[in-house]
């Protein structure tokens, strides 16, 4: 990568961190008025909801990216894709954990990633409730605000708590065998309703890892970058057209990843 390309990537990284905080603060304003928000269901899944806040925050983020980097593509959970063929693609979820957001829980976040030439190189997760910005740029490590982060040091799953998530896009048979093995080996788990936030927690060593049998790219990619830059291991999320189809997500320390991978039912790239 040339010096000019490095500078361009660094500019996007700094912009992504600032934008995530600005968008997250906008979302938090809606959160404080959540009882008055109009809520709709997406498709036939009663658990898959969207609010005015999701759409307004995504519109804000999308417009700011278009102003700063008009040549870049965009993929958002609510508005879909535009210019997806561009070398640089921004992938955004304005509020990951909308159900938690609407019910007054604190486990939601704004998540975004930047993919360059088919490789995720920037991952950012902002938690407005705790003013925590998890951020990573390829080759520059992973950070929580201004502190460098690393995966949990546990050598076995009994040494900490595993983050897990699931959705109605998969069946119980895709998910429960992993939980069964985790519990049989002395582990424990938590699910908070935001896969992006739990992935960030895993990269920061609060959880020993994170597993979900299917994640959309706007939720899965930020944690992939964060964990890799924190020094951990992940599957190849973008294999088999992950941008369009989604994929499983497994991330953990390099010590625990091989053990956890054995318990995943569907093949991991």
pLDDT for the residue numbered 162: 98
Q: What is the pLDDT of residue 8?
A: 92
What tens digit of pLDDT does each residue of 37-56 get? 777 655 544 444 568 889 99
- Please report the sign of the dihedral spanned by the C-alpha atoms of residue 191, residue 130, residue 253, residue 268: positive
Specify the pLDDT at position 1. Answer: 54
**In terms of DSSP bridges, do strands 209-215 and 161-164 run parallel, antiparallel, or are they unpaired?**
parallel
Q: Are the CB atoms for 162 and 188 separated by under 8 Å?
A: yes
Contact between 250 and 209 (Cβ < 8 Å): yes
Q: Determine whether the annotation assigns residue 93 to a binding site.
A: yes
Which residues are paired to 249 by β-bridges?
A: 212
Q: What is the pLDDT of residues 242-266, one digit of tens each?
A: 999 999 999 999 999 999 999 999 7
Which residue matches tokens 């958002």?
A: 76
**Residues 122 and 172 grouped into a single domain:** no
- Please give the structure tokens belonging to residue 43: 């498709």
3-state helix, strand, coil in the chain (%, to 5): 40, 25, 35
Sign of CA dihedral 148, 1, 84, 55: positive
The verdict on whether residue 212 carries a ligand-binding annotation is no
| Radius of gyration of the chain, Cα coordinates, nearest whole angstrom | 17
Low-confidence ranges of the chain (pLDDT < 50): 44-48
Say if residue 54 carries a ligand binding annotation.
Answer: no
Q: Does 83 appear as a known binding residue?
A: no
Q: How many domains does the chain have?
A: 2
Q: Pick the last residue of a domain from 148, 165, 191.
A: 148
Tell me whether residue 269 is in a domain: no
Domain assignment present for 39:
yes
DSSP 8-class letter at 45: -
Give the separation between CA 205 and CA 249, rounded to whole angstroms.
Answer: 17
Same domain, residue pair 172 and 193: yes
Among 102, 130, 148, which residue terminates a domain?
148
Looking at the fold, whether 177 and 240 belong to one and the same domain comes out as yes
Q: How many alpha carbons lie under 13 Å from residue 146 in its C-beta half-sphere?
A: 0
* Cα 106 to Cα 108: distance, rounded to the nearest angstrom: 6
Structural domain that includes position 208: 157-261
Domain boundary among 148, 172, 199: 148
96 is annotated as contributing to ligand binding: yes
Determine the distance from the C-alpha atom of residue 100 to the mean position of all C-alpha atoms in its chain, rounded to a whole number: 16
142 & 161 share domain: no
Q: Are residues 21 and 129 in the same domain?
A: yes
Phi, psi of 147 (to 5 degrees): -115, 130
Q: What CATH number does the domain containing 49 carry?
A: 3.30.540.10
């Amino acid at each position: 990568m040339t010096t000019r390309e490095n500078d361009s990537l660094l500019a996007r990284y700094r912009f992504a961190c600032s934008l995530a905080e600005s968008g997250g603060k906008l979302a938090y304003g809606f959160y404080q008025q959540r009882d008055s928000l109009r809520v709709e269901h997406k498709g036939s899944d009663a658990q898959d909801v969207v609010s005015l806040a999701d759409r307004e925050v995504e519109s804000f983020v999308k417009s700011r990216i278009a102003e700063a980097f008009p040549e870049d593509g965009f993929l958002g959970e609510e508005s879909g894709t535009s210019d997806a063929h561009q070398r640089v693609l921004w992938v955004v979820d304005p509020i990951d954990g909308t159900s938690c957001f609407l019910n007054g829980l604190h486990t939601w976040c704004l998540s975004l990633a930047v993919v360059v030439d088919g490789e995720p190189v920037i991952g950012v997760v902002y938690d407005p409730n705790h003013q925590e910005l998890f951020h990573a740029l390829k080759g520059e490590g992973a950070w929580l605000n201004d502190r460098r982060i690393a995966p949990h040091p546990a050598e076995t799953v009994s040494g900490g708590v595993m983050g897990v998530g699931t959705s109605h896009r998969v069946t119980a048979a895709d998910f429960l065998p992993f939980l069964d093995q985790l519990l049989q080996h002395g582990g424990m788990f938590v699910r908070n309703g935001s896969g992006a936030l739990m992935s960030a927690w895993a990269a920061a060593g609060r959880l020993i890892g994170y597993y979900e049998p299917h994640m959309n790219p706007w939720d899965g990619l930020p944690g992939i970058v964060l964990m890799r830059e924190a020094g951990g291991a992940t599957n190849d999320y973008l294999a088999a057209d992950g941008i369009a189809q989604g994929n499983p997500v497994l991330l953990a320390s390099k010590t625990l990843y091989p053990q956890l991978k054995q318990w995943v039912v569907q093949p991991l790239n």
